[in-house]
Amino acid sequence: MKGKEFSVFRRKLNKTQQQMAQLLGTSVKAIHSYEQGWRSIPTHAERQILFLIAQMNKKESKPRSCWEIKKCADENKKRCPAWEFGMGDLCWFINGTICEGDVRNSWEEKMIMCKSCTVLTSQIFQ
């Protein structure tokens, strides 16, 4: 997540920089630095922001499961933590998911794929 995107999501959550700092357990200076692009946004902060946006948007429409949308093969579905825990609308939030037949090695690698996936984009970018 880049600084401008962070700022857009903060406004979508209707939070001031002070409120966002409290929500993420950091300083206002850190929030300002994220938005200016001076500091990289930590993984835990990005995950929490995306989760909150998804939950906010979930109230407006009932999301479908990722395995339905992506038409996952049964052998992949049964090995996937999103399927195991019944979290098909939050597959992007869970590490170790089997998407397009593979597990991604890092959050950054996973998010590159997820940000172009309709499961996430339908929840976040409404």
Q: Which fold has domain 3-58?
A: 434 Repressor (Amino-terminal Domain) (1.10.260)
3-state SS track over the chain: CCHHHHHHHHHHCCCCHHHHHHHHCCCHHHHHHHHHCCCCCCHHHHHHHHHHHHHHHHCCCCCCCHHHHCCCCHHHHHHCHHHHCCCCCCHHHCCCCCECCECCCCHHHHHHHHCCCHHHHHHHCC
Per-residue pLDDT tens digits for 91-103: 888 888 988 888 8
pTM exceeds 0.85: no
Report domain extents, the chain.
3-58, 66-124
Per-residue pLDDT tens digits for 35-89: 999 999 999 999 999 999 888 877 666 778 889 988 988 988 889 999 999 888 8
